[in-house]
């Protein structure tokens, strides 16, 4: 069964395209490219059509992730029908997405960091206004959360993929 996931941040130029890029590579390495489809979007249309932030691209490239072919787009209500799982990067994104979601679509909405194992933070911080260490931190957090997500998705429908219990 095919599963589809969309990662969502504010402008779709730092966090969500990075989650998409990491996911694409991990999915390919796991031989799951036919089973799991990923995309990314932003809650705002500030950067529609633009590539990811160059600083994010460079940090990701140092770890072997190529984000250069990705382009920013705005999340639209129809994405709730197109995707099994909608993953928000922070609580503000989650609140905006929740206001867009109908009663049934809200069940598809989760926080990205619910899947992390090594990090207790609820939000993936936006590195846009910070220095180089912020981009590295985002990569660390997203690599961890994406691995947790893939483990949850293996063999199941994305809408049923429960985040790991982090008690």
Mean pLDDT score across all residues of the chain: 92
* pLDDT recorded at residue 20: 98
Looking at the domain assignment, is residue 165 inside a domain? no
Among the listed residues 9, 53, 73, 90, the single catalytic one is 9
Structure tokens that stand for 113 in this block: 């960091």
| CATH number of the domain residue 23 falls in | 3.40.50.2300
Among the listed residues 14, 15, 39, 79, the single catalytic one is 15
Looking at the domain assignment, is residue 67 inside a domain? yes
| Beta strand residue intervals within 43-141, DSSP E | 85-88, 109-111
Looking at the domain assignment, is residue 20 inside a domain? yes
Among the listed residues 62, 82, 126, 137, the single catalytic one is 126
Looking at the domain assignment, is residue 22 inside a domain? yes
Q: Which residues contact 167 (CB under 8 A, 6 or more apart)?
A: none
Is residue 126 among the annotated active site residues? yes
Looking at the domain assignment, is residue 56 inside a domain? yes
CA nearest neighbour of 155 among 36, 5, 25: 36
pTM of the entire structure?
0.93
Range of the domain at 116: 3-159
Domain count, the chain: 1
Q: Give the percent of the chain with pLDDT over 90.
A: 87
Looking at the domain assignment, is residue 115 inside a domain? yes
């Amino acid at each position: 069964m095919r599963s589809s996931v969309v990662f969502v941040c504010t402008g779709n130029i730092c966090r969500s395209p990075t989650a998409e890029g990491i996911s694409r590579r991990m999915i390919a390495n796991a031989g799951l490219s036919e089973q799991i489809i990923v995309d990314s979007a932003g809650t705002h249309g500030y950067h529609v059509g633009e590539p990811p932030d160059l600083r994010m691209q460079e940090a990701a490239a140092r770890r072997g992730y190529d984000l250069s072919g990705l382009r920013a787009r705005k999340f639209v209500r129809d994405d709730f029908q197109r995707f099994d799982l909608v993953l928000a990067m922070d609580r503000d994104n989650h609140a905006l997405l929740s206001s867009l979601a109908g009663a049934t679509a809200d069940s598809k909405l989760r926080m990205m960091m619910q899947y992390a194992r090594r990090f207790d933070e609820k939000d993936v911080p936006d590195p846009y206004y910070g220095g180089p260490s912020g981009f590295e931190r985002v990569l660390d957090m997203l690599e961890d959360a994406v691995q947790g997500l893939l483990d949850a998705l293996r063999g199941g429908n994305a809408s049923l993929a429960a985040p790991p219990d982090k008690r």
